[in-house]
Amino acid sequence: MEEVQNCVVKLRSNPKRHRDKVYVGCGAGFGGDRPMAALKLLERVKELNYLVLECLAERTLADRYRIMVSGGKGYDPRVKEWMSVLLPSAFKRKVCIITNMGAMDPLGAQKEVLNLASILGLEITVAVAYESSVKTQGIPLSSDGSIGVEGGRSTYLGAASIVHCLENYKPHVVITSRVADAALFLAPMLN
């Protein structure tokens, strides 16, 4: 992304505020959380603009990498369960879901969510904010659509990549890889 280069974030020229007030709810705080609490929040808070699902920690990231190397999913396998519970309400209420359930394979998680949305009869946009280095730019995706991650290494992203997704794609869902927890909440406020 042109906004992030060598760990330097370029300030946006002429940023536009979309709202005077932004309402961000936290629907999950760890990988083992329950989606029904997030659904209650989504249904009860009428002013909600964004619902954040923070489900990734160093331990879960390492687990996802280990499982991915063994041929499993590099993203949180519960993304389908979470989205099947939340997407219909979020779509109807125009609440954008932002989650780091993409872990080591955010593009795989995107595909999973888009397939689910199709089954549910929802036409949605799912944006992906993930680590892209000069070294990996232009490298084709693997046969399963994931990005090759060398030795499971990844770096924390900030809010810039999520803001980029929100501003440019107006998504219903944003899926990230490893981002600073605060970035998940800060990005909607910058949009």
- Give which of 53, 19, 44 is closest to 173, Cα–Cα: 53
Residue 30, pLDDT score: 86
The model's pTM is 0.83
C-alpha to C-alpha distance for 49 and 47, rounded to whole angstroms: 6
Per-residue pLDDT tens for 41-61? Answer: 999 999 999 999 999 887 788
pLDDT bracket for residue 150 (50, 70, 90):
low
* Domain boundaries, position 65: 4-190
Is residue 147 scored above 70 in pLDDT?
Answer: no
C-alpha to C-alpha distance for 168 and 2, rounded to whole angstroms: 13
Span of 32-36, 97-101, 134-138, 181-185 with lowest mean pLDDT: 134-138
Query: How many domains would you assign to the chain?
Result: 1
Is residue 136 scored above 80 in pLDDT?
Answer: no
Structure tokens that stand for 33 in this block:
């959380």
Distances (CA, A) of 11 to 2, 14, 175: 11, 9, 23
* DSSP, res 125: -
